[in-house]
Amino acid sequence: MDKTTEMDNLEMRLRALESRIYGERKNKSGKPVKCAESLARIQAGLTNTANKRERVKILHKKIEDLLKYLDPEFTDHITVPDAMKLEFILAEEDFLLSQAALLEQVSNLQPLLDSTYIRDVPEHATKLQRLSQIHIKQQDQSEVQSQEVKKLFEEYNKMMFLLSKQFTQWDETLRKMEEAKGIRPVE
């Protein structure tokens, strides 16, 4: 039953295609034009023509040879002997072995690529995006904080310098007063 349904569907599709191509045209007997009949007539005409002409017969016989000659690898096959190809392969043996080892390594790591961790990467990427934005914001805040700390250190150093200078002046003044009174400073 399935085959008959399939055939009916195919027949309906073919009729729809024929009506799209030929429209309402009819053949000489008044029946609608059929694509399959037209193709069969064209094929028969080409076969008759090919059988009548000797050159076409020869060409059909040599098509396989022509296709072989048109193949781009044919020139390599003619110009490079098998011994030379073997030399090429042996010259690249180390490279081929290393590539085989790498492919085997990739094959062994394939289960890791199929793991849930790798499948969850898009979900983690959005989280990472949010975290990187937070990190950038915190870096900016850190830069501002560093500038404030630097300014405070500069003020502290300036204050310590001024206090040191003041203590030096007071020490100098005290020493001069002690010398004027004749008091010896305690060492």
In the chain, where the domains are located: 1-25+34-78
Summarize pLDDT for 59-110 with one digit per residue, the tens.
777 887 778 878 777 776 677 777 877 888 888 889 999 999 999 998 998 8
Question: Cβ of 38: how many Cβ atoms within 10 Å?
Answer: 14
Summarize pLDDT for 117-146 with one digit per residue, the tens.
778 888 888 888 999 999 999 999 999 999
For the cut 80, the answer to whether the pLDDT of residue 53 exceeds it is: no
pTM above 0.75, yes or no: no
